[in-house]
Structure 1
Amino acid sequence: MQNAMVSVSTFVAMFLAVLAIVSSSLLVAHADTDFISRTCNKTNNTALCIAVLTAKPQSSHASTEHDLASIALKIATNTAKHNVKVISDLSKNNQSTPEAFAIAICLKAYTEATSALEIYADLYFERGFYSDTLTVVSFAMGASDTCKEAFKWIKKKSPMSYIDRQMTEHCSVASNLINLLVPK
């Protein structure tokens, strides 16, 4: 009987310890979401900023605007890299179609955007050259417009409208957050 009581009290103690850990984790996650919300409220598109950042778990560990801007820049870079892969695959499947030329233009634009983000934006950002970083992000965002125009020129519907919109949105969030770091 005494062993059963020890087991029950041990179980209750362990349960309370786990409950305390889970509760404190939820409070920290809530506090991190509050920080993201407060920071995103300073941008041009609060809802988009929150949606983009909260989709990435590492955002919950950010404690400064610089951290969030860095995460947003990585998201934009990863989006450009992903889009290069998607467009490259699309290019292979459309070699002798009327869309081939437009797809080639898109691939070139996104490849250049990826290189610019990976090389220059990261370098400028880490050195604190935020205005220069914004210029590179703006250039990279232009890949989506270049792609849209290529398809408009051949009078075809772009199969990449979704990834073009995503690129614009992710670069926009990065720009808005980096802009918070530019000395006024």
Structure 2
Amino acid sequence: MASTNKKLKSLTSMASFLLLAAAMAGTTNADAGFVSRTCQKTKKATQCVSVLSADPDSASKATTESDLAGIALRLATATAGDAAAAAIDELAKGNPPGTPLGDALGACRGAYFNAAGVLKLDARQSFDGGDYAVASQLVAGAGRAGAECDSAFPFVGVAPAPELMAKVDRDMTERCAIAEELIELLVGRR
């Protein structure tokens, strides 16, 4: 029984590694290994690799944990800004303020506008200045924009949220969580 458990654990570890390496397709094996090793230090290693693979060119050039945290912060910022705005604008066509969907989208617009500002200005400045603890807290707060947006839809009687917006909300939550964890790896360093 113990031998079977060891074999199963070994197979599970190998499968996890292969999944992480496959997610980093397009980077060299050494780069994928660095990303994988760094992501293994987070609570959600598979999600970490998945998030960083959204920008494989940058991830393949990263040489430090700080580089990877900076990439994750940039991806979260892009989600809060461009991705959220594009989804909201698309869904707002024919759904002006004063309609249930228009009102929910207005709440989303406000949540993402605030999150984008915090990420672009405050979190980036703290990160670039080496104040990683503050940057991590700011990213965590900005990550709540996805949940705020999601909750706006049932509040106005539109449930569930349209899939396009729900995807942005999931991406925002995930990308901020990974950026927060990667930044936390740097706390105490300068």
Shorter-chain TM band? 0.7 to 0.9
Report the alpha carbon displacement of residue 136 of structure 1 after superposing the two structures with TM: 1.3
Deviations 1:89-141 (CA, angstroms, capped at 9, x unpaired): 32243115321111100000001111111111110000001111112111211
Aligned partner of 1:60 in structure 2 is: 60
TM-score of the pair, normalised by structure 2: 0.78
2:56 paired with 1:51: no
Amino acid at match of 1:182: V
Aligned partner of 1:30 in structure 2 is: 29
Structure 2 CA distance for aligned equivalents of residues 146 and 55 of structure 1: 24
Aligned length: 158
Structure 2 CA distance for aligned equivalents of residues 107 and 165 of structure 1: 16
Structure (1 or 2) with the larger CA radius of gyration: 1
Amino acid at match of 1:181: L
SS at match of 2:42: coil
TM-score of the pair, normalised by structure 1: 0.81
2:177 paired with 1:172: yes
The farther-off stretch of 147-156 and 63-72 is 147-156
Q: CA RMSD in A?
A: 1.7
Aligned partner of 1:74 in structure 2 is: 74
Aligned partner of 2:108 in structure 1 is: 106
Query: Which of 129, 146, 149 is residue 147 of structure 1 equivalent to?
Result: 149
Question: Which runs of structure 1 show a deviation greater than 6 angstroms over 4 or more consecutive aligned residues?
Answer: none
Whether the 8 Å CA contact 1:88–1:107 is kept in 2: the answer is no
Aligned partner of 1:19 in structure 2 is: none
Structure 1 CA distance for aligned equivalents of residues 74 and 141 of structure 2: 16
More helix by share: 1
* Aligned-residue identity in percent: 40
Q: Which runs of no fewer than 5 residues in structure 1 stay unpaired?
A: 1-25
Whether the 8 Å CA contact 1:54–1:60 is kept in 2: the answer is no
Amino acid at match of 1:30: N
